[in-house]
Amino acid sequence: MTRPQSLRRQLLLGILLPTLLFVGVNTYSLHRQALAALHTAYDRTLLASAKTISEQLDVRGYDELAELRATVPYAALEAFEADNQSRMFYRVSSLHGELISGFAELPIWRGTIAQRPPYAALVDFYDAQFRGQPVRVAVLLQPVASSEGRGMAVIQVAETLELREAAALQILHTTLARQALLLALIAGIVVLVVQRATRPVRQLSSNLQARAEGDLAPIAAPAAPRELQPLIDATNAVMQRLSRLLAHQQRFVRDASHQLRTPLAVLKTQVQSALRGDLPPEQALQEIGHTVDRATQLANQMLALAKVEQLRQQGGLPTTRLDAVLREVALELSPLIAQGDLDFCIATDAAPVQAHEWMLRELCRNLLHNAIRHAPPGTELAVTLQAHATHAALTFADAGPGIDDELAARLFQPFSAGDVRTGSGLGLAICQEIVQALGGSIALTNRREGSQILGLDAAVRLPLARH
């Protein structure tokens, strides 16, 4: 498994690598500019040397018949040699290449003068090799005139590159030292800033590690940076869901142990009574069967209650036709409707909702079964499903005795069966859990005509699925 990189390392690399690349490009550019500036400065020195030599020239004859003469002592070039780091050489020749003075082995100039020379003179600069060393050469085409003649001289002055290279290296070293100092300063600032910026993260981590096992209280970090707030809010939301799920599981275990203890104790007593022969075998078996049925119903309803919470946590609910599920449930319970001799009618609109089919089936079965059980024989039982703009309205209307206000306040609580609602007291609690998980509402309302109660309406509102 790859070890994740630290935030500090990522920030250092993300900042220093581009900075290092920029510093490298900048250093190279500065080095090139420094070399160009050095060439300009030292080329000007070469031109000055060439002009000094031109002042020592004399001529006899005119144009093609001109004879040039030069009296150039080497001392004339010593003033331009700096710190004995470089050497200078010269050559004076005619336009045809005839040597007049200087070093004969210095290669004859074969170039051309630029249309726009960098100086107010006929001058050309180029690089060459002389005596196995690279040199920089300045060529000056100098007209020479005297009272005895007129001609054109070609003056070449060459200089070795030691001084230029030493100056360029010194500039490069100075630049690199400053850039290295800049990088070190940036790295130190980044480390300091990252250390300070990540302090709330480390503090938050320490607080979480110091928590007691099972502590799912929300994280309180008012001093945390704004960028951390979404993470803290998401963590608190997860912890809230975990806390709710844990509380639900604890309540389920507590209720299961409490509610199943009674029918199991009754069952044990009935079995012992049957073994002693206190009751006829047929009656004892009937009582045992009734107790087993009641315990089975209780266990199934408690498992259904737990399944609702499980589906709530899963999320990503599919789209299901509530009207189709409702009609299937009505068909399943039709024997009970016929047994009660009820005048049953059902009217449904197309109502797609986002829910698991099991949840809708459990909701409809519990509500319809309650309505059948508490409707007097021969009365009317109406089920209607209407699709409105944003929600589906499902109503079960029976002609039973209704409920009083005190009982209505606690009927949706688990194990809260009233006198008019026999059973385990879990059916309506399951319905409420399902409706809340789907973002809807449920209510029990007495249907009245004046002060007389005509029956009970179980009304459910569920949001319709978005197309």
pLDDT tens for residues 60-103? Answer: 877 777 777 777 665 556 555 555 567 888 888 888 888 888 88
What value does the mean pLDDT of the chain take? 81
Q: Which pLDDT does position 224 carry in this prediction?
A: 75
Q: Which pLDDT does position 419 carry in this prediction?
A: 44
Name the range with the highest mean pLDDT among 61-70, 146-155, 259-268, 306-315: 146-155
> Does 238-314 carry CATH code 2.30.110?
no
Question: In the predicted model, is pLDDT for residue 305 greater than 80?
Answer: no
Which residue do the tokens 């459910």 mark? 460
In percent, the amount of the chain with pLDDT more than 90 equals 15
Higher-pLDDT residue of 458 and 262 is 458
Contacts of 89 (CB under 8 A, 6+ apart): 102, 103, 106, 130, 135, 157, 158, 159
Name the range with the highest mean pLDDT among 103-112, 295-304, 370-379: 370-379
Question: In the predicted model, is pLDDT for residue 420 greater than 60?
Answer: no
Question: In the predicted model, is pLDDT for residue 465 greater than 90?
Answer: no
Question: In the predicted model, is pLDDT for residue 414 greater than 90?
Answer: no
* Residue extents of the structural domains in the chain: 7-170, 238-314, 319-463
Specify whether the backbone of 163 is left (phi greater than 0), alpha (psi in -120 to 50) or beta.
alpha
Question: In the predicted model, is pLDDT for residue 417 greater than 60?
Answer: no
Beta bridge partners of 136: 127, 159
Q: Which pLDDT does position 298 carry in this prediction?
A: 64
Q: Which pLDDT does position 374 carry in this prediction?
A: 87
Q: Are 411 and 418 in contact (CB under 8 A)?
A: yes
Name the range with the highest mean pLDDT among 232-241, 304-313, 348-357: 348-357
pLDDT-derived band of residue 343, with 50, 70 and 90 as boundaries? very high
Question: In the predicted model, is pLDDT for residue 311 greater than 50?
Answer: yes
pLDDT-derived band of residue 463, with 50, 70 and 90 as boundaries? very high
How many other CB atoms sit within 10 Å of the CB of residue 84? 8
Q: Which pLDDT does position 43 carry in this prediction?
A: 84
pLDDT-derived band of residue 310, with 50, 70 and 90 as boundaries? low
Question: In the predicted model, is pLDDT for residue 437 greater than 50?
Answer: yes
Q: Which of 15-29, 35-49, 409-423 has the lowest mean pLDDT?
A: 409-423
Q: Are 428 and 370 in contact (CB under 8 A)?
A: yes
Question: In the predicted model, is pLDDT for residue 256 greater than 80?
Answer: no
Q: Which pLDDT does position 376 carry in this prediction?
A: 92
Q: Which pLDDT does position 254 carry in this prediction?
A: 63
Question: In the predicted model, is pLDDT for residue 299 greater than 80?
Answer: no
pLDDT-derived band of residue 252, with 50, 70 and 90 as boundaries? low
Higher-pLDDT residue of 77 and 336 is 336
In percent, the amount of the chain with pLDDT more than 70 equals 84
Question: In the predicted model, is pLDDT for residue 377 greater than 70?
Answer: yes
Question: In the predicted model, is pLDDT for residue 369 greater than 80?
Answer: yes
> Does 319-463 carry CATH code 3.40.50.1000?
no
What are the pLDDT digits (tens) for 193-233? 888 877 877 788 788 888 887 777 888 777 777 777 888 88
Higher-pLDDT residue of 321 and 90 is 321
The interaxial angle of helices 357-374 and 281-314, nearest 10 deg, is 140
Q: Which pLDDT does position 385 carry in this prediction?
A: 95
Q: Which pLDDT does position 58 carry in this prediction?
A: 80
pLDDT-derived band of residue 415, with 50, 70 and 90 as boundaries? low
